[in-house]
Structure 1
């Protein structure tokens, strides 16, 4: 049972979760993070660290549609293992609905 990142992360991209992950299973896109589901050990330490509440266990009904998206992009984007500053306008996007349709970018981040 891995954890997944949902659209709540888009345009917020807080990286508090990355700092606590013991297996470095986060990958960075241009404006969000994803978790590689085959690398996640289901420890759950990332979930409470996310200010945007964008991380859910894959058993949560809301997470189901995000599992394949996390799997796909975690094989395309660079691994991120260190906390970075969130975008300056991250708080203004926190809690916004429909972020995937409005803002998702398939471009990779810089990793690190």
Structure 2
């Protein structure tokens, strides 16, 4: 399985995010995935390599056609990491709110 750096590198480009969004609807041949993007096929294939290295997609060749499939477990890994970060920051912000509330109720009045 890919590491977090390569997982998030896969998301760092709008072309790759569009490919992931398309594959969320189901497998597709490379030609179909490349069609909406205004770039040469070799350039597009580099994006697919990044997605494969990041664990986002898997491709299989049947005859002359390469079919790509999304690997949802990679999204789960990214979501898990983001969830842990969210929890960490929410706890920090809760402590900051408590500290600010303590400082504001420290006997000083806003009417003075």
TM bucket (normalised to shorter chain) is: under 0.3
Bigger fraction of residues in helix? 2
| Greater relative contact order (CA < 8 Å, ≥ 6 in sequence) | 1
What TM-score do the two structures reach when normalised by structure 1? 0.26
Q: Which has the larger radius of gyration?
A: 2
